[in-house]
């Protein structure tokens, strides 16, 4: 159930962005916020990378978009890279799923002196997507008036 609901949240982000040009994905239409759909796409790829691959699976993979705490995922997206960034997000979904495929939901790891389970990471990621999908809905509405995707 957790995997299915996360998959739905993931897909919702792409549905919100569907049909937009690279230029529209890079727009920051809600001043003073600097959020863009492209920034959200890059950010979600980074958190998938961090939570599933680095933290849960313990893979020794280099940081993506500056790693934890960095804002380069939001700040450095380029219009020309937008199609590749969407592909990279979908590829990261597969890599994240593969990294934890054989682990039980009660698999644990330590993070900031706390014990986390894979189950908790799924809940965390569902919340992460739900929050950012809300942001994406508002940004999309500002770009072309489309809502409820």
pLDDT, tens digit, for every residue of 128-144?
Answer: 999 999 999 999 999 99
- The pLDDT score that the predictor gives to residue 149 is 73
- The pLDDT score that the predictor gives to residue 84 is 97
Is residue 9 within 8 Å of 70, Cβ to Cβ? Answer: no
125 pLDDT exceeds 90? yes
Domain map (residue ranges) of the chain: 2-144
pLDDT, tens digit, for every residue of 37-80?
Answer: 999 999 999 999 999 999 999 999 888 888 788 788 888 889 99
pLDDT, tens digit, for every residue of 2-16?
Answer: 999 999 999 999 999
Fold of 2-144: 1.20.120
- The span from the CA of 103 to the CA of 125, in Å, is 17
- The pLDDT score that the predictor gives to residue 122 is 98
Give the mean model confidence (pLDDT) for residues 17-42. Answer: 95
pTM for the full predicted model: 0.94
């Amino acid at each position: 159930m957790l995997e299915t609901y996360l998959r739905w949240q993931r897909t919702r982000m792409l549905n919100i962005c569907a049909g937009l040009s690279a230029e529209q994905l890079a727009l920051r239409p809600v001043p003073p916020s600097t959020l863009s759909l492209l920034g959200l796409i890059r950010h979600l790829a980074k958190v998938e990378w961090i939570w599933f691959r680095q933290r849960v699976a313990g893979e020794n993979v280099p940081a993506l978009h500056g790693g934890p705490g960095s804002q380069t995922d939001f700040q450095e997206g380029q219009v020309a890279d937008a199609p590749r960034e969407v592909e990279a997000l979908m590829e990261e979904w597969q890599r994240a799923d593969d990294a934890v495929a054989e682990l039980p939901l009660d698999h644990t790891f330590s993070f900031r002196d706390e014990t986390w389970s894979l189950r908790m990471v799924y809940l965390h990621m569902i919340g992460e997507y739900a929050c950012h999908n809300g942001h994406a809905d508002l940004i999309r509405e500002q770009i072309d008036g489309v809502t409820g995707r």
